[in-house]
Every structure is written in structure tokens, then in C-alpha cells.
Chains A and B, each alone.
Chain A
Amino acid sequence: MAWFRREQTSLPRGQQESRVPEGLYVKCDSCKELIYRKDLAENLQVCPKCSFHFRISARERLDLLCDPGWEEFDRGLVSTDPLQFKDTKPYAGRLKDSKAKTDALDAVMTAAGAVSSLPVVVAAMEYGFIGGSMGVVVGEKVTRAVERALESRHPLIVVSCSGGARMMEGTLSLMQMAKISAALARLHEARIPFLSLMTDPTTGGVTASYAMLGDLNLAEPGALIGFAGPRVIEQTIRQKLPEGFQRSEFLLQHGMIDLVVDRRELKETVARCLRLLG
């Protein structure tokens, strides 16, 4: 019956790619095969044919990673649009649209829960909310998650999925990098484990702050991970980038991440890392 109910699909074009569209069958972005929708869901939104990892929402991520019963905290934090920002349309309108089309009030959900019975604090970013961009609310919620991990002495897991700092909150967004990193310095000092998982995409100010600061840095296969975006780099060096540049496997090879983890083995791997470190 699920496939009759198609009226809720309001994702704008740009953010739709690699999210699973509605319908009985899904065409894989990578191998172009038609996959039965139910099979894809049962396979954690990973293509059964080629293992392409479809992007998932923050809630799906928390469900996938945590045991049942995780509890979201700080859900009510919302931006006041401190710059009264407007480009081709007002930022206030973008906020409203994003709230309507996602299950979040800003680009991250933070929760207390457990991974295979090991208590954790988790932050999962929501790409559907203005490209997962980090403004004041993301900064505050992630910082509070770090502080909660410090207080409870439970390990911290942050799942990044973000185009970087949010332009519509200007330099305030930039400062969130320093704010979160300062909190992570305290976590580091307190010797509480911090696992960072980077998913497609993780770029800009998110990569250049908490995403790269994990005690262990993990990544899903094929994820775009970098500081500058590929287009900016191409413009700077005036040449085409090599195949696979800034993908998880490239970063593994260059010593920037510890593990590339298939989503179907993610929970088990995270639990093992927690047992090994915590």
C-alpha cells in the first residue's frame, strides 16, 4: 500500500539526488539497475547490486545506529535568523520550508541512546535541512551533545552529512567551528571516546572542525569528504581532478581516516570500536 501515498514528496530537486525517491522501484544512481524499493529498505538503503550508499535522514541514521528507545534532546532549538538574511529568497522562508519537508527543526538531531547496549550520545546531521549546513543551532546542539557526553562520561558519536558552514548566518556560523572544537578539547582531555562518521557529503567547515577530530575517523564508502569543494579546486588549479579524488577511499589512502565502513556493518563496527576504546 505504501506506494499509493505519493503526495508527501516535497523535496526540492537539488536535494533529491541520491535520497530514495518514492515509488515501487528505485533506479540506482550508480549502477542504474532498478531495485525493488522494499529490498533497498531492507538493505539499509544500500544498493544490493553495487553497494551504492543512498543518503539517509538523521532519523533513519539514529534508528540504524542505536538500539530502540533512543531519545532526542534539544529538539526545540531554532534559529532566529540573526542576520535577517535574504538572497534570492529570505532565509526565514528557507528555514520554514526545511522544517516542513524534514523531520527536524535544524540540520542536526542529537540523542541519548545505546549502541548494542553501550550507552552513547549521538548527533546525526540532516542533509535535507539546507544541505546539512552548520549555523548557530547546529553549533549549539553539537556543543551540548559534547557537554552531555562529558557529564555522563558516555562516548560521543557524530555522523556528519553537510556542505559546511551556513552562509545565511555569516560569521556566526564560522564561530561554531571554534565553539564545538573547544568543547571537543575538553572531551579529549577527559579521555571520553569520540567517533566521527563522515557520510556523503562532508565538506567545508564541518570537515575542518569536528568531523576530522574523532579519536577514530570513520567514513561510509564513496563519500565526498574534503575542505574545499571539487569545483572550487578545479577553478583554482585549472585542471580536472583525478578519479576518486576526495572520496572516502582516497582519504583512507592519504591517512586522513581510520576505516571505511559499509553501512550494513556500521553498527557492529561502531560497537566494537566503543568496546576497544571505552
Chain B
Amino acid sequence: MKKLELNDDQVKRYSRHILLPEVGGKGQRKLLEGRVLVIGAGGLGAPISFYLAAAGVGNIGLVDGDTVEVSNLQRQIIHFTHDIGKHKTDSAREKMEALNPDIKVTVHKTRVSSENILSIIADYDIVVDGSDNFPTRYLVNDACVLSGKPLSHGGIFRFDGQVTTIVPGKGPCYRCLFPEPPPPGLVPSCQEAGILGVVAGTIGVAQATEVLKLLIGIGDPLIGRLLVYNALEMKFRTVKVPKNPQCPVCGPHPTITELIDYEEFCSLRS
């Protein structure tokens, strides 16, 4: 394979990465050759995609079918006031390309479904779930398990957040932790959909960190571990999570062998 040479601009732009013994020019080249899909260009997707762009991840895909609304701006920092009404993927791509002209951003202006997800994720090395709803979360998990793709999961709610990294075959998947989506009655009502904006940043940046580590091949990813964060206590805890031998999707006798479109419980997603 032809070795990618860093040009003068890249040497300067990425010098603070190259100086790290664990990264170096080798690690930076891995980032530049990396292909990462970010699902959702919202609260989590904004910091994830912005930092991945800054880091020089060479190919970033963005999936989102929504447009920017004023209520997004309190936390989705990649979108600006003048972007209201624009497709989130376009708005995010503009900022990412302005930040780093080195990278290629591919937009998928759609909502992932059982019909399209396998073909969308096929082009990428790693998938990052920045979605805000259970149907997408389970769909993304199942699709990544079925196609053997590493997945970073993040979730936020009010003052809380959680992150874990799923590498099929190496550790548990999201269903090992939570086999089925909660019944609609237990899902917090729309009125409870409050979120302290910065929590999205904390959790999204943790997910982006996991992606960079996986691409470079350094450190201990959150495989088999769930990072739990509470902003009010300002506490991070890591909980060990085992693989579930009866897991319906990644266990030895899976009962889920094709993708499921769960019903949306709440239509107020912005």
C-alpha cells in the first residue's frame, strides 16, 4: 500500500498529535485514512463530528434527516443561528470543512432504517451512535453486530450520560446490557426531555476519544465497561458489563437475525 506522506500544512496542523509518543506520524496517518460514520448530527453528533474533523479523520459520514431548529442550538454547537431550517448534515458539513479542509465529509440526508442501514455502514470502519431515540439505538447496535463493525454508544438524559464501546466478538453489545427497548410506558415522557446542553459535549467528546483510540490502536477502549456520568455530582463511574450468553443478537443462539424497526415512542425529537 502506498504510504500517505504528510504535507507541510499537515505536519503543522497535526504537530500536537505527532508529538505524542503514542500517536506520532504513524497514528496521524491512521486517522487520515480512517472512515467513521456518525449517526445523528445533534447533541452528541455535533461534538463528535467536530472533534473528529479537527483530529483529521479523513472520511467522516453523517446521517441525519432533520433540519436545524432553534431549540437545538442550546447544545448542538456545530449549528449556528443562521442555520435554522437548513439540513443538519449540510450545516455540520460546512463547519467541519471550514475547520479542516483535509477531510472528506459524506452526508446521508435520511433516517436510518432496517432498509438502508447495512448499506450505509458498509463503507466505514467505525460507527458512532449519536442518536436520541431507542429505535435507532437498537437498530444501529444490531446492524453493527451483524456486520462486525465497532460501535461507540452514547446516551444522555437530563444531567446524566453514558458511554460504552462495542466491538463485536470482543465484548458485550448494547442488547447484552439492555436486551429490549423499554416499553413505551416506561420511556420518559416528552415533557421530561430536558437536557443540560453541556452534558452532550461531555459524552460526545468521550465517544470521539474512543473513536480516535480505536483508529490509532492505543489505550483501553470501553469494551465491556459502561462509563456513567452525572453532571450534578460531577462524577464519572465505570461499571463492568459482561457479555450476555443469552444475548438475542450477539449470543451463540441469536433470536434476532434480521433488523427490526421499533416504533417511535415520542415524536418530539428536537
Q: Answer yes or no: are A and B bound together in one complex.
A: no
Could you list which residues of chain A lie within 8 angstroms of chain B, going by C-beta atoms?
Answer: none
